[in-house]
Amino acid sequence: MGRDGKRRYPPRPVYDYGLKPLSFAISVVEAWRGELCHSAITDEQGNLAHYKIKDPSLHNWMALALAVRNQEISDFPVCNKSFNLSYCGNDI
């Protein structure tokens, strides 16, 4: 607090970063379900033209399908919980 009794906050950071025009960038990190991938494409002015996130569950859904192949339908809930896949992340 300042001497006048008012709260003092540090100045806010400036996020005015210019992106390189006509570029493609990719970032891959390890998330708790597996590989998480971000990709970005910029236009002629350096604005984002396209941004995509690939959730780790995208590949793991096929693994679940293979795990329950030729099994009883009653095994599906157990297998589904074992894989702990993201339902909404598959649509990102």
Q: Residue ranges of the domains in the chain? A: 24-91
* CB burial of residue 68 (10 Å; 0-12, 13-18, 19+): middle
pLDDT 10s digits, 52-62: 998 888 777 78
Please list, residue by residue across 13-29, b when 16 or more beta carbons sit within 10 angstroms of its beta carbon and e when fewer do.
eeeeeeeeeeeeeeeee
Please state the pTM of the whole predicted model.
Answer: 0.59
Q: Identify any residues that bridge with 29 across adjacent strands, giving them in sequence order.
A: 36
pLDDT 10s digits, 56-88: 887 777 888 888 888 777 777 777 778 777 776
Q: Which amino acid is at 4?
A: D
